[in-house]
């Protein structure tokens, strides 16, 4: 029997690392810097209309979830939706770039990424920032991809991921060194 390759085993391994080793979350941020900067550069170069629409759909979902989060009495369900759309945003960017290996690697980190986003959001609040800051960062990345601005997209992604690293360090009360 021939099966289509899957990134599931790698994803499970990475998820285990993130769950059992707090340093694993920081390692994930480092890996994301490498993978996602390349991913966004390819997306800015190669994204077609369908890919742009998929990224925009994830942005719209994230935006709606943020609005629900800010007005909800119990924001936990809205927070889960924020993280779901956030991961979808990054996966859509990888797909837009057209590199199957890179897309598989981004898919492999999706579950540990979603778990790390909870910690990042808490660190964001501890730093006195709003979830809207992250939303703006995602919007800037999206706008650069739409304009085919490779340099702007990579710069925006780097800034976004460095901020995520700062948020993680704040959540773990680790000195910020990024």
Give the tens place of pLDDT for each residue, 53-96. Answer: 999 999 999 999 999 999 987 789 999 999 999 999 999 999 99
Query: How far is the C-alpha of 177 from the C-alpha of 160, rounded, in Å?
Result: 15
List, for the chain, all residue ranges whose pLDDT scores fall below the cut of 70.
Answer: 1-11, 14-15, 18, 174-178
CB 124 within 8 A of CB 133: yes
Query: In the chain, which ranges are continuous DSSP H helix?
Result: 8-20, 22-46, 49-71, 76-97, 100-108, 110-126, 131-146, 150-172
- Which token pair is 140? 């800037």
Identify the pLDDT of residue 6: 63
- Please tell me the pTM assigned to this model: 0.88
Whose CA is closest to 154, among 35, 30, 31, 38? 38
Identify the pLDDT of residue 175: 57
Query: How far is the C-alpha of 30 from the C-alpha of 54, rounded, in Å?
Result: 26
Identify the pLDDT of residue 114: 84
DSSP 3: -
């Amino acid at each position: 029997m021939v099966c289509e390759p899957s990134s599931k085993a790698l994803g499970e391994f990475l998820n285990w690392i993130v769950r059992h080793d707090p340093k694993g979350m920081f390692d994930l941020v480092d890996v994301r810097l490498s993978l996602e900067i390349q991913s966004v550069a390819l997306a800015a170069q190669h994204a077609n209309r369908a890919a742009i629409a998929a990224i925009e759909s994830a942005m719209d979902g994230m935006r709606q979830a943020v609005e629900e989060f800010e007005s909800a009495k119990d924001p936990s369900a809205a927070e889960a939706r924020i993280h779901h759309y956030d991961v979808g945003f990054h996966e859509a960017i990888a797909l837009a770039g057209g590199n199957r290996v890179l897309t598989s690697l981004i898919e492999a980190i999706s579950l540990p990424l979603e778990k790390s986003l909870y910690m990042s959001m808490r660190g964001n609040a501890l730093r006195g920032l709003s979830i809207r800051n992250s939303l703006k960062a995602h919007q800037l990345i999206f706008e650069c991809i739409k304009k085919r601005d490779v340099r702007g997209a990579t710069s925006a992604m780097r800034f976004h991921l460095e901020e995520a690293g700062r948020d993680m360090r704040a959540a773990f009360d680790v000195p910020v060194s990024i």
